[in-house]
Structure 1
């Protein structure tokens, strides 16, 4: 059992201890190895620990339903929650690299930070190429660390096989979703216009909804010994919440305040992300305006005036209102999945609180 009464604090302390061990092990390999490990550790900083929270609450929902009184959270659940945070950091490092994003949470993205360290050290070769190559390896190291943390926790866990299956499914889904995301940006012109929204939702499901909410919930539930009905209830809740979470992220990627999100306003427009928001705008626009939208979305040199013009186009097309309606619909679907579910009442209340935090956020 964790000695920390706050499970999120226990997750943070587990990460601190784990990173200290990894940094100490790297010291025997020299300063370059230490700097590499430090880059990986830095990538896990910040964030809201959303996936950890859903994992912990998934465990509580099943444990409380089985008559377990609220109290200390088992070590295997803390370890699993911590591993999810490390896995998310890996996904973000690779995502920023794929999208060529300069910033993450108000700081340089991993590949940009590594590029700067190469330049500051006056090493030989192309600093940008070094940064990109090193960031791939940082992401890979984080994936390995997430496995290490998970397996440490599962070593004595009663329900380890079920938790391991859920975790493996999450890893496969997010990898396929990431590929479909970049494929959609490359091949969207070949798809019929009326299919773009459905294709964007497919990407959102695999790349974000399942690994952000649904699978963390199910990993925690598995560790508590969830039965088929409990698993179905949590999956029926988690998937629509995850979709709503991603749709909110899409809105913030176009309209978010840079001072709050830590990324430039309109960054998704410059990166060419083919989201549901963009698909809805394309559906509503006449052919000429649609061609202009297609020409501008994905231009990395968009200035603030052009971003503002695209924002107006999206609002006036009704796309933003449609996405907001869809977010509301998904939230209602998620709430319905919890009605009558054989889950702990206190945990169900917490799940509803987490839903509001996930879909109403400003960053």
Structure 2
């Protein structure tokens, strides 16, 4: 029998709290990432890197940190100690990988990150500064990917831990890149709704909820049955999360979300929301979508006209119903599972957290 289960001389573990402490779980993951970035700034490969560490700190500060929380829930589902362990550092590595994906997804959109990096160009040529920023954004994303690996490999995992986690991690990475390719319109199709769903599942739902759950479960020794449960529960929850995010990206309150409600429309983001709108739109409405959706100069008036079309077609309401249906599916999977009490409470709270964000 393993020491982990049988060593009576070991001190008793703290009792799990009555309610999941996501605030603490997030704080521990943030601290792990902060300590890692501190180390990169103290002992850099070159003096050019500490300023990039500062940019990266600012970039990750306002994230949802849902991926470390999902990793924590998977850990609990497999019987991991609620007090934590290496799972916090692994969760921080997942957040850094997410930053890589976000940064590369934003390479062409002239985001605020581009503007901040352009300000670091030492010259007066605006065109050269813009080229510098575009290239620097790519390198910053690459740096996140490299450091995500380093953070994972220095998390104190044993060989067995890494062997269990590696297949899920590799699958997640491939899926994210495939989803981003679909997001670019890299596969021609007449069924834009099908492509939008596939991109959502690959780029967002999987890497946000399903795969982090599986990584946490694998880390705590969870077997194939539990990993399949992570899919049954995590995939619909991840879809609900992204559908809600897409709604907030168009109808949200920037004061609450911290994000512009113009960015997704200016980018012409191929969301399920917009695919449903296109499918339901009349010819005149489709012409308006062709003109305004994806216009980099789109203003408030044009955005209001697009929102009106989305609402008139019933797409906004339909996405709301999809979110509710996916949340019910996740809760049904949770109800049917035999999980430790801390995991059951945490996974129920995760559904609320991921799907009940308000505009």
How far apart are residue 123 of structure 1 and its match?
6.4
Task: For 1:228 and 1:129, locate their aligned partners in 2 and report how far apart those are by CA, in whole Å.
Answer: 47
Task: For 1:101 and 1:218, locate their aligned partners in 2 and report how far apart those are by CA, in whole Å.
Answer: 34
Task: For 1:154 and 1:17, locate their aligned partners in 2 and report how far apart those are by CA, in whole Å.
Answer: 15
How far apart are residue 7 of structure 1 and its match?
3.2
Residue 15 of structure 1 corresponds to which residue in structure 2?
33
Pick from 69, 93, 96: which aligns with 1:53?
69
Q: What is the RMSD of the two structures over their aligned residues, measured on CA atoms?
A: 2.3
Specify the SS of the correspondent of 2:107. Answer: helix
Alignment partner of 1:29 is 2:46: yes
How far apart are residue 254 of structure 1 and its match?
1.1
* More divergent stretch after superposition (155-164 vs 210-219): 155-164
What whole-Å deviation, never above 9, does each CA across 1:174-214 have from its counterpart, x for those lacking one?
Answer: 01111110126xx7xx633xx22221110000010000000
| Corresponding pairs, count | 339
Residue 130 of structure 2 corresponds to which residue in structure 1?
128
| Structure 1 length-normalised TM | 0.87
Task: For 2:198 and 2:242, locate their aligned partners in 1 and report how far apart those are by CA, in whole Å.
Answer: 11
CA contact (8 A) 2:76 2:82 kept: no
* More divergent stretch after superposition (40-49 vs 126-135): 40-49
Q: Is there any run of 5+ residues in structure 1 with no aligned partner, and where? A: 65-69, 103-107
Pick from 83, 90, 104: which aligns with 1:72?
83
Task: For 1:24 and 1:232, locate their aligned partners in 2 and report how far apart those are by CA, in whole Å.
Answer: 42
Task: For 1:15 and 1:332, locate their aligned partners in 2 and report how far apart those are by CA, in whole Å.
Answer: 33
Specify the SS of the correspondent of 1:362. Answer: coil
Specify the SS of the correspondent of 2:229. Answer: helix
Pick from 35, 52, 55: which aligns with 1:39?
55
Residue 262 of structure 1 corresponds to which residue in structure 2?
258
Task: For 1:41 and 1:137, locate their aligned partners in 2 and report how far apart those are by CA, in whole Å.
Answer: 16
Residue 97 of structure 2 corresponds to which residue in structure 1?
87
**Structure 1's 122 and 282: CA in aligned 2 closer, same or farther, altered over 3 A?**
same
Task: For 2:167 and 2:102, locate their aligned partners in 1 and report how far apart those are by CA, in whole Å.
Answer: 23
What whole-Å deviation, never above 9, does each CA across 1:25-72 have from its counterpart, x for those lacking one?
Answer: 22x733x332233333333222231100010111011116xxxxx542
* More divergent stretch after superposition (316-325 vs 294-303): 294-303
CA contact (8 A) 1:40 1:141 kept: no
What whole-Å deviation, never above 9, does each CA across 1:93-144 have from its counterpart, x for those lacking one?
Answer: 112223x153xxxxx3x222101222xx436671111111111001100101
Specify the SS of the correspondent of 2:336. Answer: coil
CA contact (8 A) 1:230 1:343 kept: no
CA contact (8 A) 2:277 2:313 kept: yes
Residue 244 of structure 1 corresponds to which residue in structure 2?
240
CA contact (8 A) 1:230 1:342 kept: no
Task: For 1:307 and 1:123, locate their aligned partners in 2 and report how far apart those are by CA, in whole Å.
Answer: 34
Task: For 1:258 and 1:71, locate their aligned partners in 2 and report how far apart those are by CA, in whole Å.
Answer: 35
| Structure 2 length-normalised TM | 0.88
**Correspondences of 1:1-363 after superposition (within 5 Å):** 6-26=24-44, 29-30=46-47, 32-63=48-79, 70-74=81-85, 76-98=86-108, 100-102=109-111, 108=112, 110-118=113-121, 121-122=122-123, 126-153=128-155, 155-156=157-158, 158-183=160-185, 191-192=189-190, 195-362=191-358
Task: For 1:212 and 1:71, locate their aligned partners in 2 and report how far apart those are by CA, in whole Å.
Answer: 21
Moved beyond 6 Å, runs of 4+: none
CA contact (8 A) 1:111 1:131 kept: yes
How far apart are residue 83 of structure 1 and its match?
0.4
What whole-Å deviation, never above 9, does each CA across 1:272-310 have from its counterpart, x for those lacking one?
Answer: 012111111112222232122122111111121111111
